[in-house]
Each structure stands twice: as C-alpha cells, then as structure tokens.
Chains A and B, each alone.
Chain A
Amino acid sequence: MEVFIQILITGIVVGCIYGMAALGFTIVYNATKLINFANGEFLMLGGVVLTGAVTIAGLPTGVAVPVAVAVSAAIGWVMQRVILENARHSDHLTLVMLTIGVALALRGAAALVFGRDISFVPEFGFIPLVLVGNVYIPSQGIWIMLTLAVLSLALWYLFSRTLFGKAMRAASQEPRAAALCGIEPKKAAVIAMIMAAAIGGLAGTLMAPISAASYENGIFLGLKGFAAAVVGGLGNPLGAILGGLLIGVIESVTAGYVASGFKDAIGFIILILVLILRPQGLAGRAVISRV
C-alpha cells in the first residue's frame, strides 16, 4: 500500500507537468484552433535556459526561473508574430508542418546554444520534503503541485470571471463577439501563445531538477501534453489538467508494476486510442454542453 501511494505521488507530480503542457496547448487551441507541435519545446526551453542560467551564468534559482520563463514567453511571442500570423490562412497540413519546423528550429537552437549534454540543476529548495510514515513527498514535487494549483486558480479566474478571459476563450469560435469585447482574434492569438509559452517554460523549469534538462526533451513532453489535452477533451482547460494527472498516474503505475521501459509508450497509446475512439475526450459531453 505504501509503495502504491508512493507511485501515485510520483505520478501526480509528473502529471502536473503534463497538465501544464496540456494547458498551453489548450489555450492556443481555443484562441486559434491551431495544434501547436512546438508546444513541448517551450518546456524544453524552460529547462535548458534555467540550467544555462544557473550553471553557466551562475544566477541564483530565484532569478534564473523568471529569466527562463521570460525567454520562453518571448520566443512564443516571436513565433506567433513573425511566423504563424503570416500563415494563418494556410491549410491544416501547412500549419502542422510550420509548427513542426519551429519545433525543430528551437531544438536545434537549444543544442547550439546550450550544448547537447543533459544537465542537472539543484532543486528549488526552501520547502522541506514531507514524510508520512514511509511515504515521502519530495520538496520539488510540492513546488510543482503548488504551482499548478495556483496556476489553475489564476486561469480559472481569468477565463470565467473576467471579460477579457471569456473573450479569449471564445476568440476562435466567435471572433466577432470577441472583437466586440475589445479582443481582436490576432491579439487573442498572440496573448494565448505568450501564455502557453510562459506556462510551458515554467513547467520546464519546475521539472529540470527532477529529470535532466536536454534539448531533446521537447518531443516526448509535447506528445504527453497533447495526450493529456486530448484525453481531457480538446479545448477544456480543466480537462487538460485532469488528463495530465491521469496520464502521469497511469505511466507511473505502469513503470512501477509492469515495466519501466514501456511507460513512455502508454501515454502515446492512450493518445491514439482516445483520438480514434473518443475524439471529444473522456469527458466529452461536458465540453459539448459548454458551447
């Protein structure tokens, strides 16, 4: 039982990261109907920029984390303004390939700037680890869970309590209504991408101390994030978070009881199955009735 709880906690911590990846993906999708294949790279960037700032520039973690988030957000802004804005009338295939191209370029740039070695940063610290019986919750895990909790509350307030947030959420479905609230679709798209990049970057910094940062991390993290978002029902922020937790826990259980090597495949298999069998997500009806 204690082992199971420990596995569960590990899964929830990782699931929080997936949930944040899925959130970015969802926010962009709601604003523009775009599936951003570069979303995972924001997490990668958060990790490698943090590592670079701490190990190369010698910045303290408290400064390095905001720097990493800012760099990621800035890259999201550039990506939207320079590339996607100029291609928004392209067909699906072209847009998909465009974001894959951006993902490759970011990966390549990270490899050039920060090198190809995996690297570690110290935990954020400050919060002590919690020990209950033989079950322990690591300090970084608490950081991660707290961050997602605060983030969820902030996003919930933004999207359901402010006019601005509501307009953004509707920007892709009701561009005119959004425009009436003072949110041009173009502006909504930029803001969404910056938010996604910042959230991704933050998630990347949070997980850097527990799993090494590397320029190659983006693909798998991105796919796990997609899986979480799809499982939760595309476009549903709450579903994205729950989807992330679910996939994190399933992976952790698979690693603990089946075979650790196959844990990565589980999330992807779930993604494929949900896409084919329940494209509206596991909680699909809620999404439909919300519209």
Chain B
Amino acid sequence: MIRTLKEVYAYREMVVTLVHKDLRGRYKGSVLGFMWTFINPLFQLLIYDIVFSKLMHNAVDRYYLFLFVALIPWIFFSASMTGGSMAVLGQKSLVTKIYFPREVLPIAYVTSSFVNMLLSFVVVFAVVLVARVPVSPLGLLALPLVMIVEYLMALGVAMTVSAITVYFRDLEHILGIISMGMQFLSPVMYNEITMNITGRSLTLFRLNPMYYILSAYRTILYYGGVPDLKTLLPGLAFGVVMLLAGFAIFDVLKKRFAEVM
C-alpha cells in the first residue's frame, strides 16, 4: 500500500498530463471550446428554473438553487462511477504496452471530473451570489473539506468499478442504471425536510454515503449554515473506507489487467 502510494506519487506528472489532456480534449474542435464548461451548467440551471419554479410551482423556495447546489456535486460523483468504470479498459493501448502504476488511470479520471466540478462551481458561486444566500464564512471554510471527502468517495468507487469492468464488461451498463436509481435515493432533487422523511425511513436514508455529502453542500450553499460534525464525520468515515476498499480491490485485480484486455 505504502509502496503503491509512493510509486503513484512518483508518477504524479502522468496524472497531471492525463488530466490536462482530458480537459483539453473534452471540447476539442468546438467553436466555444472551454467556454462550454460554464455554458453547460448555466443552461441546465435555466431549464430547471423554468420547469420547476415557473411551470410546476414547486413549494420549495428558490428550487432551482436548492437543486443546483446538490446537482453539480452529484454529477461529479455519478460521472466518476459510470465513466470511471472505463478508466482502465479505455486505455488498453497503454496498459498492455507499458508499465506504470495502474492506479494512475482512475486517479486521473476522477481528478479530471473533479476539476470539471470545480470549474462548474464558478457558476454555482455566481448564482449563490445573485440569489443573495447569506453564506456563513465558516461554512465556506468547510466547503473544501466536503469536496475532499466527496473526492475520496468518488475515487474509491472509481477504483473498484474500473478494475472490475476489465473482467466484467457489463458493469459499465449496469452502473448506468445504478446511478439513475441512486440519484432518486439521494437528496438531489429533494431532501428529508421537503419530503418530510422521519423515523426509520430517515435511518435508511442516511445509510447512503452521498446523503452526508449532498446535505453538507446544501447546508452551506442553500441554507447558509455550517455543516455540523454529525454530518461531516460519518461522511469522512464512509470516504476513507470506500477508498481503502477501492485500493484493496484494485490491487488484487490489477495483476491480470494486461492479460485479459
């Protein structure tokens, strides 16, 4: 484990290059290019606002904002899961031809999605500012921490699924369905307050690691509060466990990558 980490650290430039290449390649050839990183979430927001606030008259105050601050982090996690499943398999030419610590591939994929989320947050902050949410400075300070915990979770999941997909290619499609289901089971479009979830249902609701993450984002950016330790600590614990499990599974499965690809 320590040795693997050391080696991954030695290959940090490879992570940087892969992330750079991915971000540059994403909108390659399009006229607006990198601007799409901002245009995309902006129009998403516009559509949500029209549909949920103007057409459906949602009871939740400023529903577009309520949805938006959780949706952007959710998209990052979901992309790490579904897209991350192909992180190793999609780089067949590298894996079968040359040695490098294989962990680099899911790390680079998740990091690239993470950077993409950070860029989307430029739009999120702008909207939060325009909507005049009374964001607490302490809450803002906690935001990077929440992001890091989410990153750990996303990486743990990506490592697990990217390794398994090499042996079992259906997983990519299965994950598409799982991701859709998870979106409805997580507090993305609603939360326990708007849906009035209590008692045993709430306990079940909290078994989902994403509950803690998305709740924290919403506390900071929608309610203008500070996430309490009861939310942060279980999230952190989930993140660390998922990451360790991901590393362990990856470590076992990586040995035959080059043979079965």
A binds B: no
Residues of chain A at the chain B interface (Cβ within 8 Å): none
Residues of chain B at the chain A interface (Cβ within 8 Å): none
